[in-house]
């Protein structure tokens, strides 16, 4: 299986487009056809407008030999980085620790 060292803050779809699909010389339409998905679905993923799903990660694993688990971790890391950029806007107060833990 192909080993990848993905950037910590790169959308999985954008990375797949640039590092996997382009070197193979595949168009969005051809990649979509080979993976058995609609072209608009693939385009949204490649442009970073849709998150990588577990099923799509498995499709890439089968087609290109890339670990689906690695791709999902890449997407989760990107999603968390995006969420952390807006964490200050969340009006959430820390729940106080319980005074005593009962057994």
pTM for the predicted model, two decimal places: 0.81
**Does the pLDDT at position 75 exceed 90?**
yes
CATH number for the domain whose boundaries are 12-86 = 1.10.260.40
**pLDDT the model gives residue 1:** 53
The residues, ordered by sequence, that sit 6+ positions from 25 with a Cβ below 8 Å of its Cβ are none
Give the phi and the psi of residue 70 in degrees, each rounded to 5. Answer: -65, -45
Tens digits of residue pLDDT in 19-34: 999 999 999 999 999 9
Average pLDDT, stretch 74-80?
Answer: 95
Separation CA 1–CA 42 (nearest Å) = 23
* Residue spans per domain, the chain: 12-86
């Amino acid at each position: 299986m192909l080993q990848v060292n993905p950037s910590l803050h790169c959308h999985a779809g954008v990375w797949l487009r640039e590092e996997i699909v382009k070197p193979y010389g595949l168009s969005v339409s051809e990649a979509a056809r080979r993976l058995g998905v609609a072209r608009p679905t693939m385009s949204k993923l490649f442009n970073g407008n849709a998150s990588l799903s577990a099923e799509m990660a498995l499709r890439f694993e089968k087609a290109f030999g890339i670990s689906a688990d690695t791709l999902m971790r890449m997407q989760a890391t990107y999603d968390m980085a995006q969420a952390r950029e807006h964490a200050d806007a969340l009006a959430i107060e820390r729940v106080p620790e319980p005074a005593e833990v009962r057994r």
